[in-house]
Every structure is written in structure tokens, then in C-alpha cells.
Structure 1
């Protein structure tokens, strides 16, 4: 099995960048592209609104009977994590 990576959407959020608004944007994109059951991981930084986003996305997907585990899908951006560590050391 070969896993590929592909950017499928990039959009400006008009409303506040809360986790709930971001979850709705992600859910809408998954719905439009027919990818609701295909999420393996979501790469994100450590912002708390991203934690809220995956938790709320789970609720939205459960309404469509789609299994999604926020704790399994949450993938921290390594470059961002290293950057934060370097800032602490300097």
C-alpha cells in the first residue's frame, strides 16, 4: 500500500478562527470531496483551537456514522515543535 499526501483545500476563514468554525470548514471540504471516511491524520500546530477542531469534527462525522478518533488522527507538526523547543532554550 502506498500512502500519498495531497493538499485538497486552502481557504480563508471569514469568521473567527475558533475550533468549531475550523471544524465546519474541514467538514464541508470533506463532504464536497467525498472524503469523510478517508482521514488518516490531521497535521496541526499546538494551538488549542486545533484540539477543539478535531474534537468537534468527531461530533460532526459521528452524525454521519463515520468513525473518527481525534486522539489517533491528531498529528503535531514536527517543525513547529522543534521551533518551540528552540525558543525555550534560547
Structure 2
């Protein structure tokens, strides 16, 4: 299992980014959370098999929302992320 956290910046709030991210996560088969941050970025935690996490990361970097645009993506693996059951929008 691979566990990652990402902070995505750009045009990622107010464009359906979180809900489209959840849709992509559900299609690929990863679990985790996505939420807006006060600084305008979006924070994501995702858990799943390496190949599915890699596909999810690629989809997020392309922006799952057609009106969104990812400028930067800070990504790191974190073994302390909980084992989520599903993928949720938390705010």
C-alpha cells in the first residue's frame, strides 16, 4: 500500500475540483480525503496500491475539473496516513 499527501495550488477552488477529485479516486479505486485550505490550495490524502496511486496522482496533476488548472503540486509519501475505507470530501 502506498500512502501519499498532496497540496495542489492553482485554479483549484470554486471549480468543482474536490468533487471531481473524489470521482476520479472512486473510478481508480483509491481511498482518502480531499479538502480546501484557507490559502486557496487543495489538500489530498490518498491510500491504495502503488499503480492506482500513481494513476491518481497523474489525474490530479492534469486537473480532474475541466475548469481547474494545477500550477504546483507538493507531494510526499507518509506512512502515518490512516487506512481510509472510502474517498471523501471533508469540507
The TM tier, using the shorter chain, reads: 0.3 to 0.5
TM-score by length of 1: 0.33
Q: Which has the higher contact order (CA 8 A, sep 6+)?
A: 2
Whichever structure has more strand as a proportion of its residues is 2
Report the TM-score when normalising by structure 2: 0.33
**Bigger radius of gyration among the two:** 1
